Structure 1
């Protein structure tokens, strides 16, 4: 079976069935960890397994694919990437396999996040976390809509760094998140304000920098990408 054959198709019916609401505790703005506020938001869909996205980028002639992370099968790769100094500078997760295994299991059981492994030309190159903004820590810092999404990402394979590779996966990830739910009209971001390389790439997608703000642990840039801007501007 090919990657494309195993992709899980979008279903309007399944989307409608998930329009119930639930309440989640979200970290309060500016407060220390452990201080939370109740947030009402749509019940999130069941997380996919296996391959979720697969296409060839016509602008850069590269195949980009994403699959849901498997905490057991992908742990060694995840551990190696997190302990790369280029990655740990921003992720600050240079930890043991045991610690990172618990992290991945926690993410797996958290309905608001989805861990993904990215592949360029069928080679694994990076890890990505998609999240629903409303119940995320970011949701306390701007006027979040119910279906806003965001993502964190890292390139763990140094041979896959560079402009063409990076723009390929950013475009592919954004296309996947917009396609995953028809009600998602914005993708938001909160990268470190000093991550100038990522900010320059994001502006080409085209994300807009709305402002800078302070998390308890970092100075961040609030980034926004609308569905219309993405599909009217970006060549897929």
Structure 2
């Protein structure tokens, strides 16, 4: 599947590369760390073991748990205005996102241009999934103007291409309007959203990204937003710049 990153545009730390997008994400089984929840308490009482099993099952079926409820993260102030991530509702947002995907500058990297059915299938794969990827509108001062995908990079095929850590969180971004590109707004929003991730997801130590290496505006936007270049990676659909924003360095970069 095509991999996003159009700023017109997600990264890592020390080794090889991320790969693949949200639709592939939905087909990757959860790692063993979740499965072990079912086996904890083996030396405890049967009732205790049952409680653990129920909790693990809740993890698998409750989308909010995997990303700590982006719908509840709330608005934040940025140099560009008040910014809010609002989870996508296809019945409300499909036409707008389809229009953005058909912008040639966006289509060159997302490869989701075409009729609404193409965008609908892409959104459905996430909205009907287990919650490891959440598509959102970026709303600035009340106006939807960008599209984000917040996803669990450690549960994505991307994790096969770099030394993933539990709760690594990835970002895909596109700016919808031509007027919003080329003036630093992408960096402002990427910093705001990565700050939101680190503030609202205390278990997440890194925000990662893998923009197409050819997409120099996107790569520059990530660098200006406090991400560092971790390396390059040959993903199934592109040569990517692997980038990471570390919790410990967020106030230095």
Q: Does the pair score TM above 0.5? A: yes
- How does the TM-score come out when normalised to structure 2? 0.72
**d(CA) in 1 for partners of 2:184, 2:215:** 18
Note if contact 2:188-2:225 (Cα within 8 Å) is conserved in structure 1: no
Higher-strand-fraction structure: 1
Matches within 5 A, 1:1-236: 39-42=31-34, 43=59, 46-47=63-64, 48=69, 50=71, 52-57=73-78, 60-110=79-129, 111-230=131-250, 232-233=251-252
Higher-helix-fraction structure: 2
Find the structure with the greater CA-based Rg. Answer: 2
Deviations 1:118-176 (A, max 9, x none): 01221111111011011202100111111100111101112222334222211111111
Distance change (3 Å), C-alpha of 1:123 and 1:219: same
Structure 1: runs of 5+ lacking an equivalent: 1-26, 29-34
Return the offset for 1:61: 4.6
**d(CA) in 2 for partners of 1:206, 1:99:** 33
RMSD: 2.6
**d(CA) in 2 for partners of 1:107, 1:36:** 13
Return the offset for 1:180: 2.4
**d(CA) in 1 for partners of 2:117, 2:191:** 33
- How does the TM-score come out when normalised to structure 1? 0.77
Return the offset for 1:213: 1.1
Distance change (3 Å), C-alpha of 1:118 and 1:160: same
Note if contact 2:230-2:243 (Cα within 8 Å) is conserved in structure 1: yes
Q: Which has the higher contact order (CA 8 A, sep 6+)?
A: 2
Matched residue pairs, number? 201
**d(CA) in 2 for partners of 1:187, 1:83:** 28
Return the offset for 1:233: 3.0
SS in 2 for 1:192: coil
